[in-house]
Structures are given as structure tokens and as C-alpha cells.
């Protein structure tokens, strides 16, 4: 079949139009990770009596309470590293505040406390029971919706079942409290925290503008990576205690009681809209929801927009450094 010159031009135009539309769709849906990091430091000072306002004579600042907040902001959110240079008894503290304004999110550094819960997709009872367990451990931080603290009390346990469940639940809570305590006092995986501190020191030692210096950007990313490994270790250790509880509790409950648990979660989802979840599939093997991977958020110019650093007390002063 032969085509006239006009027909050939028309076909060519259609091909180009289809190719252009396909390219636009690809550009809008492909995962493009912005690895830009912004960083700043702020020192917060507290008066001797933090319940009262600062007064240079009556309630001066207590140097021992000085708190340095080193913030590293990326598209994942903000990592805060708190240090207390004048109090050798206070260990460094890490806090990751995730960026969760996007429904489709790919995290690189953020370790989701509820990753194991969100990974349970093929066992409705285990998911409901895990939701109950995590609500006992974390409560509203991270948010576990309408905290199902009383679910176990409503499924009709016998006295013997109550005794057995209380024993394994108390053990889980004691073990996870010990893990949190070791994090607070600085004895949890000191090797991993040392790597965070070394990465932070290397970043501080490098002069230059982080917005313009690729080498300083790389050092900032190393801080995020080291902190991610540490926080993941914390969450993994807690997950092991939860999983042990789930295995034992499953042996205690009857099938009817298990079905009641499932119905309780369905009712909670109907009220809250969906189960608790912050993240979708992570990019670098980090913790996140295993399902529904979506496109990364749009790339900002200077990393994530700086938010006010967490305030440690009622009264105090903050000085910020670059």
C-alpha cells in the first residue's frame, strides 16, 4: 500500500504526538529521588527552673541543660540529633520526624515504627492483634488511630486465658520498655550510635556551604544513613518482642475470639478510614509499608522545607547556627 505525501505527514504527526504523550506520562509517574539535604544547628538553653520564665537574677540559664539540636532535612523529613555538651550523664538522642503530607511516599532514610504491622497483608487476625500490641507499646507516637488498648477485654476471654495472655503481654511490655530505656540512657548498640556521632563530627568539620558543596552534601547523607541504621535496629528489636507475643497469643485465643478481633479492626477502619500507615515501599531497603509503591514527591530546591525544631521545654532560648 502506498501513501501520499500528505498521508505520510499525517501518520508521522500522530506517531510524534503519541510519543510525546507517552514521554509526559513517564516523566510524571517515574520515581525520581531528590537526594538534596539541608542542615542547620540550634542551641536551646533552659533556666534552672524550667517551670518558670527565665530571669537573669532569679532564674538564670542552667548550662548543664544546654541542648544542641542538629537538624538534617531531606524529602524523607527531618532528622534531629539532640546533644547535651555540658551533661555527661545525658546520652545523644535521635528523633526522625517524617514528611507524610504525600499519600504516595518513598522513604530512603526514615525507619517506620509500624513497618512490621503494615507488612502483614495475608493474615487479618495477626494484623489486628499486631495493631493491638503496637498500641500498647507506642500509643499515639506514632499514631495508631483510635488506640485499641481494650480490644483484648472485649473478645470474651476465660479466666485462664486472661491469666495466660496477661503473662505474655506483661513480658512483651517489660522487654520493650527495657529497649526504650537502653536507648534513653545510651547503652543500646553503642557501636551504631558511635557511627552516627562520627558521621556528625565529620560533617561539622567540613567547611563550606551545604547548598553549594557536593562533598558536604555527601557527609550529610552519611549522617542520615548512620542514623537510619541505628533507628532501624531499635525498631527491629521491638518488633521481635511483638512477634513473640503474637505467636503466643495466637495459641491462646479461640477461632471465635480471633474473628472478633478481626471485626474490631474492621470497625476501627470504618471510623478512621484506613489502618495506620506512614510509608510506602522504601528505596534503599529501609522500613516502610511493603505495598502500594507510588511516585516520589516533587523535588524541592533546598531539600525539605525547614520546620521549627522540637521545643524541649516550656521556657528557654534558642540560638541558631548554619
How many CB atoms neighbour CB 132 within 10 A?
Answer: 23
- How does strand 317-321 pair with strand 38-45? antiparallel
pLDDT tier for residue 268 given thresholds of 50, 70 and 90:
confident
Nearest to 274 by CA among 123, 131, 99, 138: 131
Max avg pLDDT among 8-12, 61-65, 146-150, 293-297: 61-65
Mean pLDDT across the stretch 157-178? Answer: 97
- Average pLDDT on 122-149 reads 79
pLDDT, position 287: 56
Flag whether pLDDT at 83 surpasses 60: yes
Q: Tell me, what's the pLDDT at 138?
A: 87
Choice among 126-135, 147-156, 195-204, 238-247 with the minimum mean pLDDT: 147-156
Residue 29 belongs to a domain: no
For the entire predicted model, the pTM comes to 0.76
Burial of 289 from C-beta contacts in 10 A (0-12 / 13-18 / 19+) = buried
- Taking alpha carbons only, the member of 246, 239, 283 closest to residue 108 is 283
Q: Does residue 25 belong to any structural domain of this protein?
A: no
Per-residue model confidence (pLDDT) at position 271: 73
Rounded to an integer, the average pLDDT of 289-307 is 35
Least confident range of 88-92, 134-138, 219-223: 134-138
Rounded to whole angstroms, the Cα distance separating 185 from 176 reads 14
The pLDDT value recorded for residue 2 is: 61
**Does some domain include residue 258?**
yes
- Residue 307, pLDDT > 90, answer no
Task: Read off the pLDDT of each residue in 64-87 and give the average, rounded to a whole number.
Answer: 96
Q: What pLDDT is attached to residue 139? A: 77
Q: Residue 314: its pLDDT value, please?
A: 42
pLDDT value at position 11?
59
Span 43-48, average pLDDT: 94
Q: Does 294 score more than 50 pLDDT?
A: no
Distance (Å) of CA 97 to CA 72, 81, 141, 184, 314: 10, 11, 11, 18, 20
Q: Is residue 24 part of a domain?
A: no
**Given a cut of 80, is residue 188 above it in pLDDT?**
yes
Tell whether 17 is covered by a domain: no
With beta carbons less than 8 A apart as the criterion, state whether 112 and 100 touch.
no
pLDDT for the residue numbered 241 = 98
Q: Is residue 7 situated within a structural domain?
A: no
Predicted pLDDT of residue 17: 60
Give the pLDDT confidence score for residue 33 in this predicted structure.
55
Residue 193 lies in a domain: yes
The CB density around residue 170, as the number of other CB atoms within 10 Å, is 10
| Percent of the chain clearing pLDDT 90 (strictly above) | 61
**19 inside domain:** no
Please count the structural domains in the chain: 1
Name the residue range of residue 184's domain.
38-321
* pLDDT value of residue 55: 93
Amino acid at each position: 500500500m502506498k501513501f501520499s505525501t500528505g498521508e505520510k505527514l499525517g501518520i508521522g504527526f500522530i506517531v510524534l504526538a503519541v510519543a510525546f504523550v507517552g514521554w509526559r506520562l513517564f516523566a510524571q509517574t517515574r520515581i525520581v529521588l531528590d537526594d538534596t539535604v539541608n542542615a542547620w544547628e540550634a542551641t536551646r538553653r533552659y533556666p534552672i527552673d524550667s517551670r518558670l520564665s527565665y530571669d537573669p537574677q532569679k532564674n538564670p540559664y542552667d548550662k548543664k541543660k544546654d541542648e544542641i539540636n542538629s537538624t538534617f532535612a531531606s524529602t524523607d523529613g527531618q532528622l534531629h540529633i539532640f546533644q547535651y555538651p555540658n551533661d555527661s550523664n545525658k546520652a545523644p538522642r535521635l528523633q526522625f520526624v517524617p514528611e507524610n503530607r504525600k499519600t504516595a511516599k518513598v522513604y530512603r532514610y526514615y525507619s517506620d515504627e509500624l513497618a512490621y504491622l503494615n507488612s502483614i497483608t495475608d493474615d487479618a487476625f495477626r494484623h489486628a492483634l499486631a495493631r493491638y500490641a503496637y498500641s500498647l507499646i507506642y500509643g499515639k507516637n506514632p499514631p495508631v488511630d483510635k488506640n485499641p488498648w481494650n480490644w483484648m477485654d472485649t473478645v470474651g476471654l476465660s479466666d485462664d486465658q486472661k491469666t495466660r495472655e496477661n503473662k505474655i503481654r506483661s513480658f512483651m511490655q517489660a522487654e520493650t520498655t527495657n529497649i526504650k530505656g537502653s536507648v534513653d540512657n545510651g547503652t543500646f548498640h553503642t557501636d551504631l550510635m558511635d557511627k552516627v556521632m562520627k558521621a556528625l563530627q565529620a560533617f561539622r568539620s567540613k567547611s563550606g556551604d551545604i547548598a553549594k558543596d557536593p562533598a558536604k552534601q555527601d557527609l550529610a547523607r552519611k549522617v542520615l544513613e548512620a542514623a537510619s541504621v541505628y533507628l532501624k535496629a531499635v525498631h527491629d528489636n521491638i518488633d521481635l518482642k511483638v512477634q513473640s507475643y503474637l505467636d503466643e497469643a495466637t495459641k491462646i485465643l479461640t477461632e471465635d475470639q480471633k474473628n472478633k478481633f478481626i471485626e474490631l479492626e474492621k470497625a476501627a477502619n470504618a471510623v478512621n478510614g484506613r489502618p495506620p500507615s506512614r510509608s510506602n515501599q522504601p528505596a534503599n531497603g529501609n522500613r516502610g509499608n511493603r505495598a502500594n509503591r507510588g511516585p516520589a514527591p516533587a523535588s524541592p530546591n533546598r531539600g525539605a522545607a525547614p520546620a521549627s525544631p522540637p521545643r524541649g521545654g516550656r521556657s528557654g532560648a534558642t540560638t541558631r547556627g548554619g
